[in-house]
Amino acid sequence: MGNLGQSHGARGVAAEELRRHNLGAVLEHLHLAGPVTRSRLTAVTGLNRSTVADLIGELSGLGLVAEAPSTIATGPGRPSPVVDVTPHGAVVLAIEIAVDSLALATVGIGGHVFNQVRVARQRGHVRPEQTVRDIGQLAAPLLAALPGGSNLLGIGAAIVGIVRRSDGLVHFAPNLGWRDVPLGAMLATELGVATKVSVANDADLGAVAEHRRGRPGVDHLVYISGEVGLGCGVVVSGEPLLGVAGYAGEAGHNLVNPDGRVCGCGAVGCWETEAGEQALLRRIGSLEAGPALELLDEVERRARSGDATVLEAFAETGRWLGYGIRDLINVFNPEVVVLGGLYHRFFGYLEDGILATAQAAIRASGEIATIAPSSVGSDASLIGASELVLAAAIDDPASIAPIG
């Protein structure tokens, strides 16, 4: 009965919504899966050939895709043209603010990285104003090197802190010493661009990168990033778990040792005080203070040479990691627990320790969950920062202003 009562206007709106949805679906497929023939695109979207041709025509008009003649005959008749994204048609400046390093990349639709830079920073609390100025200096040559006519959609930033997504306010970043820093607004001013700045927690973005780029089809995962702190991002039913304000996933500050040490957050015995980078270095003991990236190179060299102190420090840190992973498996019933950052780099040394304690997860969940190193690698947060902006634009391609 409802349908009969619908006005032509309402039906028009529904048809327009459907067309926009299909436009987004075609672009999303090309963005994540790479170039495909037009006939393959018809098959995977379930749309008919003329609809797909129209959608490709519209995306092409927006400067987002291009077609090229196929070189492969796939059956009788004319070969189907190959459709691919045009990377410079939608570009993001992705930024990762870690304790020990700053990284920037210009990333186009399809995940095409135009340029990328990572610089080490001195350990210690780097002030927000200095950080933003450094980002401005690193960004200028990257933006200048983009191909002519590039369409900069926005800026995505990942930071090791608790972030309010709505305006990019960094509420608290204990390992940077930042409190209530309006990072989104500061970046917009520094970079002098009219485009939107989106800021999110680094581990949340690592989870997004792993879900969208690293493990297609895995819709329940927990991502744990190891840096100076320990961050956690969760994907449930294919959607990032953010909480009311975007602060969810701070598992690094769950209590694991009531008799333990004071954490950067002010509490005692947080998971990161036993399983974070500082805990690992503390257990190794004899390392001198210095630039953290060099310290970790030294740790790796000693581990490779079979240094018993270093190997035991990894085993002990792995066991503490496993306690927290056990809890996360019990709470979220994930298909995969992904280890990123420091834990990705040293997974081989940590794995036995992790398994020794994580296996105490309840059996039903524990038998399902795999514990694995990140499949997108050490740039997961940076990739996630680009996806944050690109995914929102791909949802509604018509919102992307064509290149003038």
**Binding region for Zn ion (CB under 5 A):** 253, 263, 265, 267, 270
Strand partners, 116: 105
- One-letter amino acid at 177 equals G
We find the least distance from the C-beta atom of residue 331 to Zn ion, in angstroms, to be 18
Contact assessment for residue 365 and residue 329, using Cβ atoms and an 8 Å cutoff: yes
Cα 342-34-377 angle, rounded to 5 deg: 5
> Which tokens hold the place of 31?
């963005």
Coil, helix or strand at residue 107: strand
* Closer of 253 and 344 to Zn ion (Cβ): 253
Question: CB under 8 Å to 295, separation ≥6 — which residues?
Answer: 281, 287
* Closer of 35 and 260 to Zn ion (Cβ): 260
Q: What order of strands is seen across the sheet that includes strand 169-173?
A: 162-164, 169-173, 178-181
Contact assessment for residue 368 and residue 333, using Cβ atoms and an 8 Å cutoff: yes
We find the least distance from the C-beta atom of residue 308 to Zn ion, in angstroms, to be 30
We find the least distance from the C-beta atom of residue 322 to Zn ion, in angstroms, to be 19
Question: CB under 8 Å to 179, separation ≥6 — which residues?
Answer: 171, 172, 173
Which residue in the block uniquely carries the two structure tokens 């929102």? 392
Alpha carbon distance 164, 198 (integer Å): 10
Strand partners, 162: 172
We find the least distance from the C-beta atom of residue 253 to Zn ion, in angstroms, to be 4
C-alpha distances in Å from residue 233, one per residue of 60, 205, 340: 35, 7, 11
Coil, helix or strand at residue 235: strand
We find the least distance from the C-beta atom of residue 159 to Zn ion, in angstroms, to be 17
* Closer of 87 and 229 to Zn ion (Cβ): 229
Alpha carbon distance 57, 235 (integer Å): 34
* Closer of 142 and 265 to Zn ion (Cβ): 265
Question: CB under 8 Å to 9, separation ≥6 — which residues?
Answer: none
* Closer of 121 and 253 to Zn ion (Cβ): 253
E runs forming strands in 328-385: 336-341, 370-373
> In what helix (H) or strand (E) does residue 341 lie, and over which residues does it extend?
strand 336-341
* Closer of 23 and 270 to Zn ion (Cβ): 270
We find the least distance from the C-beta atom of residue 275 to Zn ion, in angstroms, to be 12
* Closer of 260 and 366 to Zn ion (Cβ): 260
Which residue in the block uniquely carries the two structure tokens 């079979």? 306
* Closer of 37 and 254 to Zn ion (Cβ): 254
* Closer of 270 and 354 to Zn ion (Cβ): 270
We find the least distance from the C-beta atom of residue 240 to Zn ion, in angstroms, to be 22
* Closer of 128 and 174 to Zn ion (Cβ): 174
Alpha carbon distance 292, 101 (integer Å): 9
Work out the burial of residue 225: count CB atoms within 10 Å of its CB; fewer than 13 is exposed, 13-18 middle, 19 or more buried: buried
We find the least distance from the C-beta atom of residue 44 to Zn ion, in angstroms, to be 45
We find the least distance from the C-beta atom of residue 267 to Zn ion, in angstroms, to be 5
We find the least distance from the C-beta atom of residue 273 to Zn ion, in angstroms, to be 7
> In what helix (H) or strand (E) does residue 44 lie, and over which residues does it extend?
helix 38-45
